Amino acid sequence: MALDAKTIAGLAEHLETCELQARDTLKITDDHPTMDWDDAYAIQAEILRRKLARGSRLIGLKAGLTSHAKMKQMGVDSPVFGFLVDDFCVPEGGEVKTAELIHPKVEPEIAFVLKRALKGPGCHIGAVLAATDFVLPGIEVIDSRYREFKFDLKSVVADNTSAARFVIGGQALPPERVDLRTMGVVMEKNGQVVSLGAGAAVLGHPAAAVAMLANHLGRRGEEIPAGTLILSGGVTEAVAVAAGDNVTLRLQGLGSVSLRFV
């Protein structure tokens, strides 16, 4: 760790205040160039602690930057992990208030819900599939707190990987009922197709993103608990949205899920 506890708490407060007030900021590594990975995850953990203290509930985890399309779009080269609390969850077909966000974008994701805990190191896609209760479509709304979405990996980890809102829905199926690699992904905005892909765009197999998350937590002596919802990462580039937009994600064999921006 390069930063002291007071600095970490201060940066967490700063980033969370930006989130809650829909204000942007410059990436925090500009002022803290020596910040390391442990600092970045410690700032994220402090943001979670602040939310839990205010009554939020931890309901899931997310992997981000797990597809080449996303890594290229953001100019970075490795996945990152974040948390999901109940405040982020939008009901199927529900509304997202753009006034509460800075510059929202949507991404098509394959969501997993576990029936058993997963613990790394050594977690692989077989272990993930065996521990998965069902998979279903999910749209993540990301909203980096950094000006113009300009960040480096440590800054985005501290900012809880741009997590803001998400919706899950459609048809939930056990993983053996679908082929997660060849699964077609179609996202529409206002009836127009805005992104197309297949599950394999996520690290060759979306379950690999969940295995990476388990291995990442395993290095910290943590596990993914049974019942956890996991967003495995945007299959394609994220698409900017504004008030009035209607977004639908169709995953082959898993139906569709949508949300509206007001």
Return residues touching Mg ion (CB under 5 A): 64, 107, 140, 234
Please report, to the nearest 10 degrees, the dihedral formed by the alpha carbons of residues 202, 226, 53, 5 taken in order.
-60
Which of 70, 145, 205, 216: binder of ligand OOG (CB under 6 A)?
Answer: 70
Nearest residue to Mg ion on Cβ basis: 140
**Min. distance of Cβ 132 from ligand OOG in angstroms?**
18
Q: Give every CB contact of residue 37 below 8 A, 6+ residues apart in sequence.
A: 154, 157
Interface pattern 27-66 for ligand OOG (x via CB under 6 A): -----------------------------------x-xxx
Residue 107 interacting with ligand OOG (CB under 6 A): yes
Q: Which is nearer to ligand OOG, 88 or 149 (CB)?
A: 149
The radius of gyration computed from the CA coordinates of the chain, to the nearest angstrom, equals: 17
Residue with tokens 């205010």: 54
Is the Cβ of residue 132 or residue 162 nearer to ligand OOG in the bound state?
162
Q: Considering CB distances under 5 to 8 angstroms, the limit depending on partner class, which of ligand OOG, Mg ion, none binds residue 74?
A: ligand OOG
Residue 112's binding partner, choosing from ligand OOG, Mg ion, none, with beta-carbon cut-off 5 to 8 A by kind? none
Tokens of 140: 């993540």
Q: Is 203 exposed, middle or buried (0-12, 13-18, 19+ CB in 10 A)?
A: buried
Among 28, 40, 61, 74, binds ligand OOG (CB under 6 A): 74
Let me know if 238 is exposed, middle or buried by CB neighbors in 10 A (0-12, 13-18, 19+): buried
Identity of the residue numbered 102: I
User: Are the C-beta atoms of residues 158 and 44 closer than 8 Å to each other?
Assistant: yes
Q: Is 113:132 a contact under the CB 8 Å cutoff? A: yes
**Which listed option, ligand OOG, Mg ion, none, makes contact with residue 132 (CB within 5 to 8 Å by class)?**
none
Q: Does 185 bind ligand OOG (CB under 6 A)?
A: no
Comparison of 103 and 119: residue with beta carbon closer to ligand OOG:
103
In the shown chain, the binding pattern of residues 228 to 247 toward ligand OOG, with x for contact by CB under 6 A and - for none, equals -----xx-------------
Is the link from the previous residue into 91 a cis peptide, with omega within 30 of 0?
Answer: no
CB of 154 vs ligand OOG, minimal distance in Å: 12
Assess contact for 113 and 131: CB atoms under 8 A: no
Ranges within 139-168 binding ligand OOG (CB under 6 A) = 140, 142, 144, 149, 156, 161-162
Q: Strand 256-261 relative to strand 95-96: parallel, antiparallel, unpaired?
A: parallel
Nearer to Mg ion, 3 or 139 (CB): 139
Other CB atoms within 10 A of residue 8 CB: 22
Q: In 3D, which of 47, 56, 53 has the Cα closest to residue 87?
A: 56
Among Mg ion, ligand OOG, none, the one that 161 touches (CB under a kind-dependent 5 to 8 A) is ligand OOG
Binding residues (CB under 6 A) for ligand OOG: these are: 62, 64-66, 70, 74, 107, 140, 142, 144, 149, 156, 161-162, 233-234
